[in-house]
Structure 1
Amino acid sequence: GGSGPAGPPAATGRRAAVHPAAASTSLLPAPEQRIGCWGLAPAQREASLAALRYIEAHLPQRPEANCSKREFLIWAVTGAGKTEMLFPLLESVYASGGKSLIATPRRDVVLELDPRIRKAFPELSVVTLYGGSEQRWEKGDVTIATTHQLLRFQQAFRLVVIDEPDAFPFDGDPVLQYAAERATAPGGTTVLLSATPPKRMRQLAKRGKLANVGVPVRYHKHPLPVPQLLRTAAVYDMLRRKRIPAMLRQSLQRSLDRGAQIFVFVPSIGHAQPMAGLLGTVFPAATIESTSSADAQRKEKVDLFRQGGIRILVTTTILERGVTIPRSDVVVLDADAPLFDEASLVQMAGRSGRSAADPAGSVVFCSRSRNRAQIAAVRQIRAMNRLAATDGYLESRTL
């Protein structure tokens, strides 16, 4: 879920407190009634309800393989308000005397989730764990941790939520994947929360081997911005010629004219600063900065960008997730670079149109050629919009 003013509306209403020693959720009202207290949008509510029913169902009686490993995938588009969908699950686990863990790739997300979980559950103890954190040995009703912290636990949680299982470090690391399994208590559930599930997960879901639910729409009920593909020179050539192609310049000017802030993504760290410099000569009135994983001032610049102090931020995939700006447009340069796969392009496009005040946004993929990843990313975004329309979740019908 996004942070700041672009995030979903706060949960409304209160829930009946249940004694933490309760042996089961049988003392609670029906799942449908409990979900109603959280002020979720229809698509969020359906997904949360499906996950809740899965968690509360008894373990399958059949001894076949995969029965002991209970996993549930929530495939939610970027900006769907995924944190809020977890609230009914955390409540259910607490009510039945269990503990929950939310594991997320980045420390800044841990720090952002902490106050949101505390506000939703003032009666629960919440512990945050990341490299260098202070609450190292405390046990909480809800633990929010960076993915690497999974290695510390054994059968400790009735619910383990893996946020962004498609991202580094979880994706492609069998040790962390095993650690997630080991951290889950017998009869517990691992919930996988992703906007761009890896192919392997999608195939399992398609074949009925992985229980799942989709959230094809953002909480504000408007379609996702569909990327426009622009044929332009490579970044290297733009920098060499000290020239921004006219179509790209016009696109950036339109964004500035409408008062938007702009993410400009480049595949190479070395190109970020020179590109910011070149854009500065074209748009001298705009505050333009660059940042990357190699930038010691990254946090300060991102905070300034969030506060509106930077109009154009040239960056790398380090900001493809987790940063939410209410009125923002996205430009991906060298969109045909091998580094930008389908998931990466979908995530970068997902920075735009996240707030109810500015749900349209604009996304432009610039490259010398259209490659498979760009076509697949556009196809995935269009498919989600079609699904949202078919399911009746969209407020504006224009796709």
Structure 2
Amino acid sequence: MKVALYVCRTDEKWSMILSLDIRVDVVWWLEGVSGRQVHQWLVLSLQLPLSQAAWLVEQFVPVRGMAQWDVVAWQSCLNAKLLEYERDSGEIEAREAVAVAMGASGWGKKGSEAGGWRSNEREDGGGGTGVKGRGAAAQFIVGGMPRAYPAKHWAQLQQYAALLAERMSGRQLLAAEAEALLAAEPAMPPGGWRAAAQLARLHGRLQLTAALQGPATRRRLAWLGRARSAPRCHRCGSEARQRVPCAACGLAACAYCEACLALGRSRACALLLRSAAQGAVPARGEAPRGTALAPTGGGLARWGLSAAQSAAAAAALAFLSRPPAGDGPGRFLLWAVTGAGKTEMIFPLLQHTLDHGGKALVATPRRDVVLELAPRLAKAFPDTSLATLYGGSTERWKDAQLTLATTHQLMRFYHGFDLVIIDELDAYPYHNDPMLAHAAAASCKPDGHFVYLSATPPARLQREAALGKLAHAKVPVRFHRHPLPVPKLMRMITVAQCIKRKQLPAPIVSSIRSSLERDAQVFVFVTRIAQIEAFVQLMRRTFPNISIEGTSSQDVDRASKVIAFRERSIRLLVTTTILERGVTIPRSDVFILDADNGLFDEASLVQMAGRAGRSLDDPAGRVIFAASRRTRSQVKAVSQIRKMNAIARRKGYLHPPVSK
């Protein structure tokens, strides 16, 4: 994509601006629509690749004496900056593009024939270039002055620009996505949506930039030679190292981002439109007149929460009522054990935000969880508009007060929400993915709040909570008020050795038989998909009268097998960590084999152990960590479960022990 680029000076302030439709800028600045006096105005190029124009705008810094520059000086400055762009981007082909752009714009000409200069300097003011005279103005541009946007269509353009800004509120979209967003709107003005977008940008309601951030040189490594950094994607924050020839901008090596390719190609020359949502929830804790931000106890009563849930929700509500401590959004960790009812605890937080006119987002890593939560949120908030977003969703452009989305969908939002709730913070794909963390951070308003939900928070957040650097609340008990089952460690040879020997060790056989005899459903977790089929056959030979199946992420029948397991048609299920979370099976026991394997970290072990003891009729359950050696992850997982039980006991959340 190519755009126009110009500079202007108003009230001694210089600005460099890229334009999607220079006719709009002519009316805005030169026909007095802006309401500001324009002292100087110069078109630098009418056809410049967007990647270069956006980088020039980012790099623009006014210098002393700029008002006295003539067109030749501006030409020299622009050429120097474009050569810097070429060096820092590593694009040899950029030199050819610069030459083409300069030739097309007439930079080879001299004096007043080059560029498009307008000066309103007084004759005695000095410093202006072009024709001087009291009240006179000089206008020069290669090929003639750009035409102004037709006056008869200006009112319609103003209306459409306002509509575009409203529809874009809280979003960041590529040009094709913006077109899709506006497809259902009334007929566009003659100048099209690009003219409306340019006018919205001049009004300050829309940001226009390249989808990729321009190249930068890491100055601290300059003594080692020019240390270049790859351009970064504005949408997902990833480095963009891939380059291809591009017909849109004419560059032979136009960078694009592979990380977020599934949401549309983010290229160096692709237009990205951004618009931060207007504030609704009072910023920095200032309540609107006649209202109180602080929640009341009555706000919790309607949700039927347990004592432990109510205490955590009250702490989170108190957090929402305070202004964020730093410059960015506030952060709160809701650390609740598996099966504690995290979803019910976020209802009061959502209600608080909605009651104050704000917008809330609930993000979860997996589509199946989105589909499961959608009817629960719709039932809890029947009078609130709800948008459900995931790959292939038909509600992609729906504007709603409450949004439920997979974490990948967050890349289409920009400062759009007062409250962002990240569910299953530690789960794939969100965990250890900087791209999704970047998208989540961009989706929240600077004065908004984050609430993280997890049964097994990452170690970094656990440390911050322990040091008092992260506000948090713990829910150490499940709804039935019984302690979490504490795993028992059992020595056992590896699964691979069992398959090779075609025999299971006697202790594990005896333990599984005890679970089956007590009528429990049995989870058997293994580390590798390749082992499942052989291990299922071994289990069937060992327990011939039991219905046994295996499943994994590669199993197309996974969903039906889980249903059959829940309905007890299957009694023993061999699986991988694909079922470590999000699955509740009544009366379950859990066996984790090769528990010393590096694939099973502390969080995975706690989550898998959390499948046991979730039902009211069987709150104890059984959990076995079977391994050839004891590892730090096993010890820490057991320790974490014991600590939660101790906290629950100390706070009086557990049922009193039954006297014998």
TM over 0.5: same fold?
yes
Equivalent in 313, 320, 326 of residue 55 of structure 1: 320
Partner of 2:478: 218
- Are positions 1:202 and 2:467 aligned together? no
1:286 offset after TM fit, Å? 1.4
Give the partner amino acid of 1:201.
L
Partner of 1:85: 345
Task: Return the alpha-carbon distance in structure 2 between the equivalents of residues 80 and 234 of structure 1.
Answer: 33
Partner of 1:46: 311
CA contact (8 A) 1:155 1:186 kept: yes
Larger Rg: 2
- After superposing the two structures, state which structure 1 stretch, 112-121 or 132-141, moved more: 132-141
- Are positions 1:187 and 2:450 aligned together? no
Task: Return the alpha-carbon distance in structure 2 between the equivalents of residues 377 and 324 of structure 1.
Answer: 20
| SS class of match (2:626) | strand
Equivalent in 491, 499, 503 of residue 243 of structure 1: 503
1:67 offset after TM fit, Å? 4.0
Cα RMSD over matched residues? 1.7
- Are positions 1:68 and 2:333 aligned together? no
Task: Return the alpha-carbon distance in structure 1 between the equivalents of residues 446 and 329 of structure 2.
Answer: 9
- The percentage of counterpart residues that share the same residue type is 53
Task: Return the alpha-carbon distance in structure 1 between the equivalents of residues 487 and 394 of structure 2.
Answer: 43
Equivalent in 466, 472, 493 of residue 233 of structure 1: 493
Give a deviation string over 1:50-96, Cα, whole Å, max 9, x none.
10111122344xxxxx3423110011111110000000011111111
Task: Return the alpha-carbon distance in structure 2 between the equivalents of residues 59 and 160 of structure 1.
Answer: 14
1:236 offset after TM fit, Å? 0.8
- Are positions 1:268 and 2:533 aligned together? no
TM-score by length of 2: 0.55
Partner of 1:335: 595
1:175 offset after TM fit, Å? 2.0
Partner of 2:298: 33
1:140 offset after TM fit, Å? 2.1
Task: Return the alpha-carbon distance in structure 2 between the equivalents of residues 89 and 67 of structure 1.
Answer: 22
Task: Return the alpha-carbon distance in structure 2 between the equivalents of residues 163 and 397 of structure 1.
Answer: 33
Q: Which runs of 5+ in 1 are unaligned?
A: 1-20, 61-65
| SS class of match (1:213) | strand
Give the partner amino acid of 1:84.
E
- Are positions 1:344 and 2:604 aligned together? yes
Give the partner amino acid of 1:236.
A
CA contact (8 A) 1:159 1:191 kept: yes
Q: Relative to 1, partners in 2 of residues 1:108 and 1:172: Cα closer, same or farther, differing over 3 Å?
A: same
CA contact (8 A) 1:336 1:369 kept: yes
Question: How many residue pairs were aligned?
Answer: 373
Partner of 2:263: none
1:137 offset after TM fit, Å? 1.1
Task: Return the alpha-carbon distance in structure 2 between the equivalents of residues 132 and 91 of structure 1.
Answer: 28
> Where does 1:345-384 land on structure 2 (aligned, <5 Å)?
345-384=605-644
Equivalent in 540, 550, 574 of residue 314 of structure 1: 574
Task: Return the alpha-carbon distance in structure 1 between the equivalents of residues 433 and 381 of structure 2.
Answer: 32
Task: Return the alpha-carbon distance in structure 1 between the equivalents of residues 566 and 380 of structure 2.
Answer: 24
Give a deviation string over 1:308-340, Cα, whole Å, max 9, x none.
221111000111110111111100011111100
Task: Return the alpha-carbon distance in structure 2 between the equivalents of residues 137 and 313 of structure 1.
Answer: 41
Task: Return the alpha-carbon distance in structure 2 between the equivalents of residues 141 and 27 of structure 1.
Answer: 20
Partner of 2:512: 252
Task: Return the alpha-carbon distance in structure 2 between the equivalents of residues 376 and 172 of structure 1.
Answer: 20
TM-score by length of 1: 0.90
Give the partner amino acid of 1:48.
A
Q: Relative to 1, partners in 2 of residues 1:59 and 1:339: Cα closer, same or farther, differing over 3 Å?
A: closer
CA contact (8 A) 1:22 1:95 kept: no
| SS class of match (2:297) | helix
1:356 offset after TM fit, Å? 1.4
Partner of 1:294: 554
Q: Which runs of 5+ in 2 are unaligned?
A: 1-279
Give the partner amino acid of 1:123.
D
1:396 offset after TM fit, Å? 4.5
Partner of 2:388: 128
1:172 offset after TM fit, Å? 1.5
Partner of 1:385: 645
> Where does 1:3-42 land on structure 2 (aligned, <5 Å)?
26=291, 30-42=295-307
1:281 offset after TM fit, Å? 1.2
| SS class of match (1:31) | coil
- After superposing the two structures, state which structure 1 stretch, 328-337 or 268-277, moved more: 268-277
| SS class of match (1:188) | strand
Which has the bigger relative contact order, CA under 8 A and spacing at least 6? 1
Give a deviation string over 1:185-208, Cα, whole Å, max 9, x none.
232111000111111111111121
